[in-house]
Amino acid sequence: MAANDYRAYLRNHIDMEEAPARAPHTGSTHRALIFGTLAVMALLQVASSVAILLHLTGYLREVDLASPQQSPNEEMHSETLIGDQLKSLKKERCRTKKVMPSAHLPIKAPIILLLKDQNGLTQIAWDDTQVQNLKRMKYSENRIIVDDPGYYYVYAKTCFRYHEIHNLEREDISKIELGQYIYHENNSRPEPPTLLAKSSGTPKWNTEKYNKYCMEQGRGVRLEKDDRIYVKVSNARLLDPAVEETYFGSFKISD
SS (H, E, C) 129-143: CCHHHEECEEEECCE
Tens digits of per-residue pLDDT, 38-87?
Answer: 776 777 776 666 566 656 566 445 545 555 555 555 555 556 666 676 77
**C-alpha angle 61-65-71 in degrees, rounded to nearest 5:** 130
Helix extents (H) in the chain: 2-66, 72-96
Under 8 Å between Cβ of 223 and 150: yes
209: alpha, beta or left? (left if phi > 0; alpha if psi -120 to 50)? alpha
What local confidence, expressed as pLDDT, does residue 208 receive? Answer: 65
Cis previous bond, 203, omega within 30: no
Q: Beta partners for 182?
A: 197, 231
* Helix%, strand%, coil% for the chain, nearest 5: 40, 30, 30
Q: How confident is the model at residue 26 (pLDDT cuts 50, 70, 90)?
A: low
pTM of the model: 0.61
What local confidence, expressed as pLDDT, does residue 232 receive? Answer: 96
Question: Could you say which DSSP state residue 70 is in?
Answer: -
What local confidence, expressed as pLDDT, does residue 189 receive? Answer: 79
Look at residue 107 and tell me whether its pLDDT is greater than 90: yes
How far is Cα 213 from Cα 177, in angstroms, rounded to an integer?
11
What local confidence, expressed as pLDDT, does residue 221 receive? Answer: 97
Instruction: Give me the percent of the chain exceeding a pLDDT of 90.
Output: 38
Least confident residue range of 106-115, 164-173, 232-241: 164-173
Q: What does residue 24 show for φ and ψ, rounded to 5 degrees?
A: -65, -35
What local confidence, expressed as pLDDT, does residue 77 receive? Answer: 56
How far is Cα 225 from Cα 227, in angstroms, rounded to an integer?
6
